[in-house]
Amino acid sequence: MGKLTFRRRKKAVPLPIPPPPPAIEATTTSKTVVKKKAGGSRLWMRMDRWGQSELIECDKSVIIKRVSIPARDLRILGPIFSHSSSILAREKAMIVNLEFIRAIVTAEEVLLLDPLRQEVLPFIDQLRRQLPHKSPSNHVADRTVTQNNEMQSPTAGQWLTVPEAAEGLQDELPFEFQVLEIALEVVCTYLDSSVAELERDAYPALDELAISVSTTNLEHVRSLKSNLTRLLARVQKVRDELEHLLDDNEDMAQLYLTRKWVQNQQIEALSAAPASHSIVPAISHLRRLSSTRSASLMSNYLNEDDVEDLEMLLEAYFMQLDGTRNKILSVREYIDDTEDYVNIQLDNQRNELIQLQLTLTIASFAVAVETAIAGVFGMNIPCTLYNRNGIFGEFVGIVTAGCVVLFFLVLGYARWKKLLGS
């Protein structure tokens, strides 16, 4: 991947918000409802763009029909791929599998799998805090007033109310990117906290190992190294997925679900109008739009090649994950340095033991020479020295002195050959 560059983010144009989707199994006005569990069903949490949420129990067929995705895509959210990281774009949905966050995001709602897990609760809290808590009924009333105003124009049926919405510019991402940003923030925060906890445990344990090499310290460091390897793999998977998206503009363009929804609505609006009444009004209305600043901004936003918003979002979290990865690599380098230091210590002790063994071998050789001389004179061999009185002490002293001299000679030779330290 080439060098990443940050660019100044354009102001996004708020798009018309689609009406609230129908409930999956039964209509309800409560925020949290647990449906009756069916065979093979799993627990999901549905949250729309107005912040309304509910807990549901449904099977794969209902989810597939709801979000219009292939059945094989649900396997990505299953337990087999629980340790993988992927962000996939489909025609009407985005499949997000990041660590413990497994969700299906559309332009209107997010379906979150296993919402009662302890790790997923911060993600749900972030969604509830950041998504606007606007009542769907109020929004429908606002859309009714807008549609009544549009009835006064002969070209109102040809176009969506995008220019009117573009008059109030806000730095707001589409709904699917808001959910993706929250998911990346929660995952990156979790990984950062895991790395910080690993650093708090690793550095004292490594310092203790450098001071005292023992079985307990070695076992502790081995456990830390295993945790570090697993954590590095998890960070690397998320980082590689973001890098893959940043390298392919076409994949990033497919993630603009709201953009595709608006384009489909425009096509449906144009195709629904009578052919005899749509050509001239549409052209005149297009000219009116092109003369306004809001229409220019909207045309740039609806450009399929414009992926700057998502690119800047992914770059920010890619850099954060890259920093987290560098922290893990720093801890691993510290572990490697400590292991090298411990190995040097062990090698030094091993060398000292070898030197001691060599010294004892030289001493044993000198004693063996004296023993051999004593054994020779212990044989029944005729010798005139046996008849001399007081020769035993003199003979033993001379032989012992000779063996001591032999010991120092061999020891000096070993030092001269640098077999022993000075």
Query: Residue 279 domain-assigned?
Result: no
Query: Residue 237 domain-assigned?
Result: no
Q: How confident is the model at residue 396 (pLDDT cuts 50, 70, 90)?
A: confident
Q: What are the backbone angles phi and psi of residue 88, rounded to the nearest 5°?
A: -115, 140
Please write the tens of the pLDDT for every residue from 348-382: 889 889 989 999 999 999 999 988 888 877 777 77
Q: In what order do the strands lie in the sheet with 86-89?
A: 53-58, 42-48, 109-113, 101-105, 94-98, 86-89
Query: Residue 366 domain-assigned?
Result: yes
Tokens 């099977």 correspond to what residue? 59
Region label for 224, one of left (φ > 0), alpha (ψ between -120 and 50) or beta (otherwise): alpha
The C-alpha atoms of residue 296 and residue 415 are separated, in whole angstroms, by 88
Query: Residue 235 domain-assigned?
Result: no
Please write the tens of the pLDDT for every residue from 215-249: 899 999 999 999 999 999 999 999 999 999 999 88
pLDDT of residue 24: 44
DSSP 78: S
Query: Residue 211 domain-assigned?
Result: no
**The domain that contains 102 carries what CATH number?**
2.40.128.330
Which of residues 127, 159, 191 is at a domain's end? 159
Query: Residue 383 domain-assigned?
Result: yes
Count the helix, strand and coil residues of the chain and give each as a percent rounded to the nearest 5: 65, 10, 30
Cβ–Cβ < 8 Å for 107, 174: yes
Longest Cα–Cα distance in the chain:
148
Region label for 51, one of left (φ > 0), alpha (ψ between -120 and 50) or beta (otherwise): left
The C-alpha atoms of residue 387 and residue 367 are separated, in whole angstroms, by 27
DSSP-derived secondary structure for 112-132? EESTTSTTTHHHHHHHHHHS-
Please write the tens of the pLDDT for every residue from 290-336: 444 444 444 444 555 578 888 899 999 999 999 999 999 999 999 99
Would you tell me how many other CB atoms lie within 10 Å of the CB of residue 190?
18
Domain count along the chain: 2
pLDDT of residue 422: 60
Cβ–Cβ < 8 Å for 319, 4: yes
Would you tell me how many other CB atoms lie within 10 Å of the CB of residue 26?
11
Relative to beta strand 101-105, strand 109-113 is antiparallel
Query: Residue 142 domain-assigned?
Result: no
Q: Which of 246, 253, 251, 98 is nearest to 182 (CA)?
A: 98
The C-alpha atoms of residue 392 and residue 399 are separated, in whole angstroms, by 11
pLDDT of residue 195: 94
Q: How confident is the model at residue 3 (pLDDT cuts 50, 70, 90)?
A: very low
Q: Which two tokens stand for residue 44?
A: 């999901």
Residue with more model confidence, 413 or 82: 413
Share of the chain above pLDDT 90, in %: 27
Would you tell me how many other CB atoms lie within 10 Å of the CB of residue 98?
24
- Provide the domain limits for residue 113: 17-135+154-159
For residue 392, give Cα distances in angstroms to 325, 382, 395: 80, 16, 5
To the nearest whole number, what is the mean pLDDT of the chain? 76
The C-alpha atoms of residue 247 and residue 76 are separated, in whole angstroms, by 22
Query: Residue 65 domain-assigned?
Result: yes
Say yes or no to pLDDT of 92 above 50. yes
Q: How confident is the model at residue 262 (pLDDT cuts 50, 70, 90)?
A: confident
Cβ–Cβ < 8 Å for 257, 178: no
pLDDT of residue 273: 61
Please write the tens of the pLDDT for every residue from 49-86: 888 888 988 888 888 888 888 888 788 787 766 677 88
For residue 118, give Cα distances in angstroms to 123, 354, 365: 10, 56, 72
